[in-house]
Amino acid sequence: MKRLFHTGLILMSNENIVVIFPHPDDESFGASGTISKFREEGHPVTYLCGTLGEMGRNMGNPVFANRETLSSFRKKELNEAAKQLDIDVEFLGYRDKTLEFEPRDQVAAHLREKIESLHATIVITHYPGYAVHPDHDALGAAVVAAVQGIEETKRPQVWMHAISNDHASHLGDPDIVYDVRPYWEQKLAAIKAHLSQADGMMSLIENHDQASEQLERLKTERFYKYIFN
């Protein structure tokens, strides 16, 4: 496999990358190899994290958190992952598992303000309808609405991460595919930083002979470029 291959992708020398996912750890599992590539090239990256993931079911193994303390642990974990990836983090302040109930226009206005203030040229988010979790779908849809409202000449590209098992049959091949093995150490360090959430994934990684397909999937990051009408 080539280290990098892409379709129709031209990067400028002054990209500003804004990653928008709902949970601490979404950035590490889904895009940290790509983030590491951007940082190596000198592009600034900011992660706008929608929630603190306080309703997550994983509490560490052995358990070290509870429902009241999980949000504090996950915030600390994300800050550590951000150090590993050399990125900035801003917390958007929404509640975990409630984003689908937030008025989309209000969330979009909030995101648009952030995107414009950061002078984003590329926004990375989940592909609504193909992102499995309601929070993923809702925030991805709000990103689309936010960027749609920006003047066309100033509108950033939107790269979308699709997760569902059926996404390829509906969406076709992704527009951007990165082999992130050159950045595997950074990605692994970011994943490990999420101590409360990473146990299952680390078991897969450590027993890679039993899970080579899943492991290889982690080493490739794929995105669809959203086309605005």
Q: What is the pLDDT of residues 86-143, one digit of tens each?
A: 999 999 999 999 999 999 999 999 999 999 999 999 999 999 999 999 999 999 999 9
| Residues 185/190/193/199 CA torsion (nearest 10 deg) | -80
Select the CATH number that applies to the domain covering 4-172+188-225 from these four: 3.40.50.10320, 3.30.413.10, 3.40.50.720, 3.30.420.10: 3.40.50.10320
**Per-residue model confidence as pLDDT tens digits over 37-61:** 999 999 999 999 999 999 988 887 8
Domain boundaries, the chain: 4-172+188-225
Residue 33: pLDDT band by 50, 70, 90 thresholds?
Answer: very high
Mean pLDDT (the chain) is 91
- Residue 150, Cα to own-chain centre: how many angstroms? 22
Q: How confident is the model at residue 207 (pLDDT cuts 50, 70, 90)?
A: low
Closest of 37, 76, 45, 71 to residue 194, by C-alpha: 76
Residue 204 has pLDDT above 80, yes or no: no
Mean pLDDT to the nearest integer, 155-166? 97
